[in-house]
């Protein structure tokens, strides 16, 4: 489950999870432990480019994952919530600097966009030091819930 929803995405994260555009996707971006900004600062960034222009560093060795299918979207009328889940993501032989978090971003056009186009949706705390062993990112409680 997300630790927080970025201010720019409040009220929109569920919509973006439906992948409403022709060439859109969600993108997982890992953030290094070193330089990671506090949540109060991170949540104010409106684009991935703005987030990375601060002190937070992307852990580029592990690499980004683009998800354009397999999302599970659930409206729960009993609990009055909307939930979306991302399929498990496998990282084969990941290496590099220690990680403390990742963000899920919405990319409105995977064919022509830049980091200035990516909208950060959710931030997830995840401590990990990639050591070359295959790792699986699982969203045990789903990626996001709106109520």
Cα–Cα dist 107/91, whole Å? 21
- Residue 13 pLDDT grade (very low, low, confident, very high; cuts 50, 70, 90): confident
In sequence order, which residues have a C-beta less than 8 Å from that of residue 140 and are 6 or more positions away? none
Is 128:135 a contact under the CB 8 Å cutoff? yes
Whether the predicted pLDDT of 11 surpasses 80: no
Strand-strand pairing, 72-76 and 89-91: unpaired
Can you give the pLDDT at residue 100?
98
Is this prediction's pTM over 0.75?
yes
Q: How many DSSP H helices and E strands does the chain contain? A: 3, 10
- The larger pLDDT score, comparing residue 122 to residue 8, is at 122
To the nearest whole number, what is the mean pLDDT of the chain? 92
Can you give the pLDDT at residue 80?
83
Rounded percentage of the chain residues whose pLDDT exceeds 90: 69
């Amino acid at each position: 489950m997300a630790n927080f929803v970025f201010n720019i995405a409040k009220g929109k994260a569920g919509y973006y999870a439906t992948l409403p555009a022709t060439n859109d996707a969600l993108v997982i971006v890992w953030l290094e432990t070193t330089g990671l900004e506090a949540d109060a600062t991170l949540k104010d960034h409106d684009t991935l480019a703005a987030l990375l222009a601060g002190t937070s560093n992307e852990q580029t060795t592990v690499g980004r994952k683009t998800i354009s299918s397999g999302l599970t979207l659930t409206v729960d009328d009993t609990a009055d919530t909307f939930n979306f889940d991302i399929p498990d993501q496998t990282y084969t032989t990941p290496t590099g600097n220690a990680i403390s978090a990742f963000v899920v971003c919405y990319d409105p056009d995977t064919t022509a966009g830049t980091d200035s186009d990516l909208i950060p949706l959710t931030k997830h705390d995840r401590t990990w030091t990639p050591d070359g062993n295959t790792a699986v990112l699982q969203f045990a409680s789903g990626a996001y819930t709106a109520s």
